[in-house]
Amino acid sequence: MSSSPSIAASLTAPLALVLQLLAWVAARPRTYGETIEAWRTSCPRLPVWEDATMNGLVAIVPGDAGFREQTVCLTPEGRNFLQGHGA
């Protein structure tokens, strides 16, 4: 969890939204298509998905399905970050 402060400092989206995304992903299996539909934005001030992926908090699990059907999951870093912020 030592990297949590540096991750939080590097976020451009509000911390609360990033934590909400992480909790949403952790709640049940999600596909890439479902995740992008719900979380991607064209607003440069709220890059929640981009912050989570660039900071290694979520990952897309490769598989045989088409890209939109691949699974999105929390990384160990993402789980630690979420738990470290009381979620």
pLDDT digits (tens, 9 = 90+) for 73-85: 999 999 999 999 9
pLDDT given at position 21: 95
Residue 65 pLDDT: 80
Spell out the domains of the chain, with CATH numbers in brackets: 4-84 (1.10.10.10)
- For residue 2, pLDDT beyond 70: no
Q: Which helix (H) or strand (E) holds 23?
A: helix 15-27
Per-residue pLDDT of 14-68, as tens digits, reads 899 999 999 999 999 899 999 988 887 766 666 899 899 999 999 999 888 888 8
In this prediction, residues 4-19 reach a mean pLDDT of 88
**pLDDT class for 1, splitting at 50, 70, 90?**
very low
Q: How many CB atoms lie within 10 A of CB 80?
A: 17
7: Cβ–Cβ under 8 A, 6 or more apart, which residues? 55, 57, 77, 81
